Structure 1
Amino acid sequence: MSKTTILKNVFVVSLGFTFLFTAFNSMANLQTSLNKEEGVGAWSMSTIYVTMICSCMFLPNFVIGRLGCKWTIPMAMLGYILFMCANFYAVKGTMIPSSIILGLGAAPLWSAKCTYLTQLGVWYAKLTSRDQDAVINMFFGFFFLFFQSSQIWGNLISSLVFTPATHNQTSDRECGAQFNPHDAVQGNKSNNFEQSHDKVFTVCGIYLGSAVVAAIIVSIFLDPIVLDKERSEDDRKLSPRLLVSTFRHLISSPIQLMLIPVTIYSGLEQAFMGGDFTKAYISCTLGIWNVGYIMICYGVADAICSILFGRLVQYVGHIPFFILAFVIHGSLQITFLYWEPHREDMLIFYVCAALWGMADAVIQTQLNALYGSVFSGNAEAAFANYRLWESLGFAVTFAYNDYLRTDMKLYICLGVLGASVVCYTIVEGLLFKAKTKSANITSP
């Protein structure tokens, strides 16, 4: 590919995912508040990520081997389209099956995207004689700039549609860290969560159209590629080979083992923001119609910082940014434990969302790029591990969403964050040791 063609394909992938996750991310932000009866929303989200864990082990190589990176992406998007359709009648009988189908396609979707961008980064680095790690960082930063901007468009849609003519003034005395999930469906909290069927159908229809547009964009404009690493005949068979290679990669790589906590935390912190902050803090205190507006602030900060950090990392490395993310998230989680949210605290909601988005930008871009650069020779097994452990973080968080008070969830977040800090420090030590050893070998 020429440099122009490579950049065009990076743009097409980014644009397609923007349309797709304009629908999915915003619908996911609403699940625990909108589909709260019998825990349908939380259980559907947990089902997605449990299924993704299974899918990571068996399907990515098989699907990509059969369809190629290009066609894997739009075919996997069909599961997201079905999920949007299920939200028109959100009961367990529709949401759980559609969540399973989405989860099965999600692992090949993300593996194909990561493999595609990593390969483009390798080619572009060779064509421009630039550092491979820096180019991969730049491409992932550009991708997440578009990807995180989906928070803006989708959340703007939900807030504009759901905003009532008159705002209900409800008590906020049990919101925040003391929020009990049962408060969403009983007592004087319910009018902050309820929406008319017409408004729900309008939002679902817009999101469905956005997901369909995503599949069309990728199908028409994305170029097929042939990976530098040729696929064997085993890649075309549905077998546990990836399961074996994933765990072989896990066992054989101390760095991969040490990346498990921070990868789990990546899923956990996103699930907390989308499932707990939106419900226990925003919807409970301000009403569901404010979820979109505040999450737009989160998305804007995430998008800007994604591209900014993706460019700056080539000058200062990964370490300062990971430290920044750990400090911000740790400080916010402690703040959430002691903060009693009120309607008058509107600015605090926006500031907290923006800061969380800034730190999430670091975790998303730098962790993806770290996997891509450290494990470039075995990208599929590495990214399968990435999706497996991140999905576990999502799944567990949504599974206990309706059973634990918010303060207990925050303690869990802080515990996993602490383990992530320790293990990431070990990772950087191992990488430094490996670089020093390589330099000693190559020096005269």
Structure 2
Amino acid sequence: MPETSVIFGTNEKWRINRNILVLGFAFMVQFTAFHGTANLQSSVNSDAGAGAFTLAAIYFSLILSNILLPTVIIKWLGCKWAVAVSFIAYMPFIAAQLYPRLYTLVPAGMMVGFGGGPLWCAKCTYLSVVAEPYAKLSGISAEVLVVRFFGLFYMFYQMAQVWGNLISSAVLSSSLGEEPRLLNETTPISAALYTNVTSASLVDVGATCGVNFCSATASHENVNLEPPSPFKIQVIAGVYLACMAFAIFLVAVGVDSLTRYTKGRKTTCTGKTGIALLAVTLKQLRHRYQLLLLPVIAYIGAEQAFMAADFTQAFIGCSYGISNIGYVMICFGVFNALAAPIAGALVKLTGRFPVMVTALLLNLCLITSLLAWTPRAGQGAPLFALAAVWGTADAVWLVQVNALSGILFPGSEEAAYANFRLWESTGSVLAYASAPYLCVRTRLYILLGFLLIGFSGYSTIEFMEYRVKKAHNQERNFELVHKKPEQEPLQS
């Protein structure tokens, strides 16, 4: 059946750019709310490990969602409305913060995961499809445009970490809902609590914070870990719900339906769903390269979970205060956003392996520092430095291993990326679910083991690829030498 030709006006390139900008801005607003809330879960909702279990529920349901839902939802609603409806699925997670109990948080977290699969698939499909008509209008190849569109989108998305944490920390560090005090009513004890440095329980935080932190132990005698007032949580939740409502409005009103650009084109983000996709994903595990990649993929999920759950609670919240978690995580987000393109440029100059070795060394120094460092009350500079290093290393792992999953399996990208999502989420689920039961020191040793095993698997792949390329070059050189004498008689 011949493809139906579509004639666009002279302003169509501007319209496509507008769609991408509005979509990226909507994701930034949406995930401003989500990231800001997620980073506080383990510290604010620490009773019975509710926050950690909620984050585990998000990633567990995301595994199921990625396998079962994207094709069905997108075929039913289309990409534009799949994004809008998926945004709605995130809202109960914010609303549950108004009444944070295990039986309200975990189901709300499950809804986030179920919305996440169709959301990210619809976003990828939209950006890929609109690149095709833009390519016809501009003369630039669709492959180049897809990279450009994704880069523009992620420029907006990475900023969500900054705005979300800025909002939460601004509210938590404010005096909203607090009773005003007169200067002559301030007692020495209360003054010590306000200065956050002279109270004995705060000065000696090293005994219970950092690597010595254990969630399962009795309540810590540390005012830094006291949950903020319910009023402040209500204000934060209200702002975040307004952000999500605005993001839904932006997509509904400001983004064109993809049917405008899909005449005669199939627009699902993947050809398989449910059992078929699961079968292809598991079949991919027969490939030795895929098996060697699994530990480093699981490490990526585990280290991100450690950052979101353990680092925020045991290091930042415990020694520096819950109200400062957002400020430190802003530093993480900025370095994470900057490191991704810089690492990509370095790979072109040095190759992938030296960049990955750099990430390994950064993580080894980071984990060693966390194991050896004794936090002190109010000491923020080391936390910002640790967050910066963590953001840099995380960007390298995430971008390069993701790209490697596509490079190593040409023709099987669908199964490769499905495995990446599956095992990254599995690493996160295991890390979040075990957080309430294991002390931070033990979890760091486990993380170190995952790092070394994961890098060993990755290094094995690089070595095997090097041997294949070397053998291929020797064969080509041998063929050239073998053919040369045959040409000599023609020269005499």
Q: TM-score range by the shorter chain?
A: 0.7 to 0.9
> How much does 1:161 deviate?
0.7
1:208 and 2:218 matched = no
Contact 1:46 1:395 in 2 (8 A): yes
Q: 1:255 to 1:144 in 2, by over 3 A?
A: farther
Task: State yes or no: 1:107 paired with 2:142.
Answer: no
Task: Check conservation: 2:215, 2:438, Cα contact below 8 A.
Answer: yes
Is the 1:61–1:242 contact (alpha carbons within 8 Å) kept by the matching residues of 2?
no
* CA contact 2:224–2:319 (8 Å) conserved in 1: no
Deviations 1:163-215 (A, max 9, x none): 155354424132111111146x6141255332111100011111112222223
Q: 1:389-400 residue pairs with structure 2 within 5 A?
A: 389-400=423-434
Task: Indicate conservation of the 8 Å contact 2:38/2:308, yes or no.
Answer: yes
1:51 deviates by 1.3
**Residue 359 (structure 1) aligns with:** 393
The aligned residue for residue 302 of structure 2 is: 268
1:156 match: 166
Q: Is the contact made by 2:67 and 2:274 (CA closer than 8 Å) also made in structure 1?
A: no
Paired residue type of 2:281: T
Whether 2:355 is the aligned partner of 1:321: answer yes
**Residue 255, structure 1, aligned to residue 289, structure 2:** yes
Aligned to 2:339: 305
CA distance in 2, matches of 1:33, 1:72: 32
Q: Tell me: CA distance 1:74–1:306, structure 2 relative to 1, closer, same or farther (3 Å).
A: farther
Choose which of 205, 208, 221 in structure 2 pairs with 1:188: 221
Give the letter for the 2:313 counterpart.
Answer: K
- Larger helix proportion, structure 1 or 2? 1
Partner Cα distance (1:370, 1:10) in 2 = 26
**Farther-moved stretch of structure 1 (354-363 vs 340-349):** 340-349
What CA distance in whole angstroms lies between the structure 2 residues aligned with 1:6 and 1:376? 29
- Deviation at 1:21? 1.6
Output the CA distance in 2 between the equivalents of 1:181 and 1:418: 26
User: Can you list the C-alpha shifts for 1:34-79, whole angstroms capped at 9, x where unaligned?
Assistant: 0111111111111111111222222223323433444332222222
2:64, 2:343 → 1: CA distance?
32
Residue of structure 1 in register with 2:324 after alignment: 290
Greater shift, 2-11 or 83-92, is seen at 2-11
Q: Distance in 2 between matches of 1:259 and 1:6?
A: 37
Residues 1:267 and 1:42: Cα distance change in structure 2 (over 3 Å): same
Bigger radius of gyration, 1 or 2?
Answer: 2
Q: Select which of 445, 449, 452 maps to 1:411.
A: 445
Percent identity over paired residues: 36
Q: Which has the higher contact order (CA 8 A, sep 6+)?
A: 1
Contact map agreement 2:29 2:160 (CA 8 A) in 1: yes
Aligned twin of 2:28: 18
How many angstroms does 1:315 deviate by? 4.3
Contact 1:64–1:108 (Cα < 8 Å) also in 2: yes
Q: Aligned residue for 2:180?
A: none
Give the counterpart of 2:231 among 192, 198, 217. 198
Structure-2 change in CA distance of 1:5 and 1:30 (3 Å): same
In structure 2, how many angstroms separate the alpha carbons of the residues matched to 1:358 and 1:141? 18
CA–CA distance in structure 2, aligned partners of residues 321 and 59 of structure 1: 36
What is the distance in 2 between the residues matched to 1:153 and 1:241?
39
1:98 positional shift: 1.1
Give the letter for the 2:289 counterpart: I
- Tell me how far apart the structure 2 counterparts of residues 435 and 116 of structure 1 sit (CA, whole Å): 37
Give 2:312's aligned residue: 278
**TM-score if structure 1 supplies the norm length?**
0.86
Q: Please, what TM-score do these two structures have when normalized by structure 2?
A: 0.79
SS in 1 for 2:221: helix
Find the residue that maps to 2:251 and give its secondary structure: helix
Question: Which residue identity lines up with residue 108 of structure 1 in the other structure?
Answer: P
Report the Cα distance in structure 2 between the residues aligned to 1:205 and 1:255, rounded to whole angstroms.
Answer: 47
Query: Matches of 1:402 and 1:117 in 2, distance apart?
Result: 40
Q: How many residues align?
A: 438
CA RMSD of aligned residues (A): 3.4
In the alignment, the residues of structure 1 paired with residue 384 and residue 369 of structure 2 have an alpha-carbon distance, to the nearest angstrom, of 14
Q: Which residue of 2 aligns with 1:350?
A: 384
The one-letter amino acid paired with 1:288 is: I
Q: Deviations over 1:117-145 (max 9, x none)?
A: 5566788889766795x776655554443
Distance 1:218 1:430 in 2: 46
Render the CA deviation track for 1:329-372: whole Å, top value 9, x for unaligned.
Answer: 12101110111011353211111111111111222333333345
CA distance in 1, matches of 2:126, 2:409: 14
State yes or no: 1:428 paired with 2:462. Answer: yes
Gaps of 5+ in 1: none
1:59 maps to what in 2?
69
Q: Mind listing any 5+ residue stretches in structure 2 that lack a counterpart?
A: 1-7, 176-193, 481-492
